[in-house]
């Protein structure tokens, strides 16, 4: 804007906020490009260009004005793109806008926990013997859906082509829909024993593929119904399981069984199947019935890897 205009005209936001105060009690207010007033606010779009006019000297006044809405609104900061401030009406109840989960975001601290190993932990030595994991499949910026305390991120040093891993858990949203993850944003998507917990695995896979870049890989493990549930439903080892899985059987004893090969066939125009394997190499069939994934050796699952076309 021409320098012929006054500073207030060139940067009108503070004056506009003063006009809105007391007149927008039930209105959602979204402020774009807050970098103009916040000198050290980190955004995915980077810092304000040197050539752009700023209001850094008015940052305190800007924050004070936002605080003046406290009786009617809550203030929320978003780092996406050039940065946003959202004033959410208290009359609308709990804040309902979720921040985008972006590649490279660290959504939780990564720390090893001693005790019973997780299913990803059990898989590591096997995967290190298969060069495809390190050279083709776990490459770039990944999303670990349901990674919890046993995320593939913990083992990043063993797969040197991984750039980063972002964990998607309850704190981020519903794993079935990934509603705050953008399309075609991650180089690989990983999930160990999460698909059995969602309401509709087909809907979940649709969205897991949606957020994967073309050419990227989806690496999934699920419990095998015969190795894990071992003929009993509902599951006695995890009461949150909503489905059982088999790699390929004509008939199943489980009323909620999903045939993995049939499931993948639903996506045959969208993916190339790179691997589908029953992980029974260390299962002990002669033992009394117990959850063998609580040991350090038996994965008791099915793994499939697909590439998005």
Domain membership of residue 214 (yes or no) is yes
Burial class (CB in 10 A: 0-12, 13-18, 19+), 274: middle
Query: What does the pLDDT read at residue 5?
Result: 65
Whether 187 has a pLDDT exceeding 90, the answer reads yes
For residues 64 and 139, membership in a common domain is answered with no
For residues 163 and 289, membership in a common domain is answered with yes
Domain membership of residue 104 (yes or no) is no
For residues 163 and 282, membership in a common domain is answered with yes
Q: End-to-end CA distance of the chain: give it in Å, rounded.
A: 45
For residues 59 and 133, membership in a common domain is answered with no
Whether 161 has a pLDDT exceeding 90, the answer reads yes
Q: Which residue has the higher pLDDT, 80 or 273?
A: 273
4 confidence band (pLDDT: 50, 70, 90): low
Measure Cα distances from 84 to 48, 75, 81, 229 in Å. Answer: 13, 10, 8, 47
For residues 88 and 125, membership in a common domain is answered with no
| Sequential DSSP letters for 213-244 | EEEEEEEEEEEBIIIIITT-SS-SS-TT---E
Query: What does the pLDDT read at residue 1?
Result: 45
Q: Average pLDDT, stretch 258-284?
A: 97
Query: What does the pLDDT read at residue 79?
Result: 85
Domain membership of residue 88 (yes or no) is yes
| Whole-number percent of the chain with pLDDT over 90 | 85
Q: How far apart are CA 66 and CA 151, in angstroms?
A: 38
Whether 2 has a pLDDT exceeding 70, the answer reads no
For residues 205 and 163, membership in a common domain is answered with yes
Domain membership of residue 110 (yes or no) is no
Domain membership of residue 105 (yes or no) is no
Spell out the residues 6+ positions from residue 129 whose beta carbon is closer than 8 angstroms to its own. Answer: none
For residues 82 and 133, membership in a common domain is answered with no
Domain that holds residue 18: 7-92
For residues 138 and 61, membership in a common domain is answered with no
Which pair of structure tokens corresponds to residue 284? 């002990």
Query: What does the pLDDT read at residue 114?
Result: 87
For residues 151 and 255, membership in a common domain is answered with yes
For residues 186 and 55, membership in a common domain is answered with no
Q: Average pLDDT, stretch 233-245?
A: 97
| Whole-number percent of the chain with pLDDT over 70 | 98
- Please say which residue of 74, 92, 110 terminates a domain: 92
List Cβ<8 Å contacts ≥24 apart for 92-98.
92/26, 92/28, 98/172, 98/173, 98/179, 98/180
For residues 139 and 60, membership in a common domain is answered with no
Domain membership of residue 84 (yes or no) is yes
Question: Among 101-115, 167-181, 226-240, which stretch is predicted with the lowest mean pLDDT?
Answer: 101-115
- Total of domains in the chain: 2
- 3-state secondary structure (DSSP) of residue 135: helix
- Please say which residue of 48, 77, 92 terminates a domain: 92
Nearest to 219 by CA among 146, 170, 163, 292: 146
147 confidence band (pLDDT: 50, 70, 90): very high
Domain membership of residue 101 (yes or no) is no
């Amino acid at each position: 804007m021409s320098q012929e205009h006054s500073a207030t005209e060139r940067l009108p936001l503070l004056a506009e906020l003063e006009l809105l105060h007391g007149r927008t009690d039930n209105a959602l207010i979204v402020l774009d490009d807050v970098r103009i007033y916040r000198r050290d606010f980190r955004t995915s779009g980077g810092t304000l260009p040197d050539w752009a006019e700023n209001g850094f000297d008015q940052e305190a006044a800007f924050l004070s004005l936002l605080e003046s809405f406290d009786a009617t609104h809550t203030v929320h900061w978003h780092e996406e793109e050039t940065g946003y401030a959202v004033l959410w009406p208290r009359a609308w109840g709990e804040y309902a806008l979720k921040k985008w989960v972006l590649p490279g975001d660290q959504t939780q601290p990564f720390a090893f926990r001693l005790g019973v190993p997780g299913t990803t932990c059990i898989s590591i030595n096997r995967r290190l013997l298969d060069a495809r994991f390190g050279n083709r499949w776990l490459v770039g910026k990944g999303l670990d859906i349901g990674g919890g305390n046993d995320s593939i991120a913990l083992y990043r040093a063993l797969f040197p082509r991984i750039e980063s891993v972002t964990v998607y858990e309850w704190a981020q949203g519903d794993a079935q829909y990934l509603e705050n993850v953008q399309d075609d944003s991650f180089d690989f998507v990983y999930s160990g024993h999460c698909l059995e917990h969602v309401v509709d695995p087909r809907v979940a896979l649709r969205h897991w593929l949606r957020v994967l870049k073309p050419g990227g890989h989806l690496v999934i493990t699920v419990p095998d119904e015969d190795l894990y549930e071992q003929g009993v439903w509902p599951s006695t080892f995890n009461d949150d399981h909503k489905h059982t899985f088999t790699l390929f059987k004509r008939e199943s004893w489980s009323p909620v069984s999903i045939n993995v090969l049939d499931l993948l066939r639903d996506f045959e125009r969208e993916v190339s199947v790179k691997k589908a394997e029953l992980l029974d190499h260390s299962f002990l069939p002669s033992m009394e019935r117990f959850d063998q994934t609580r040991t350090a050796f038996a994965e008791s699952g099915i793994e499939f890897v697909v590439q998005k076309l």
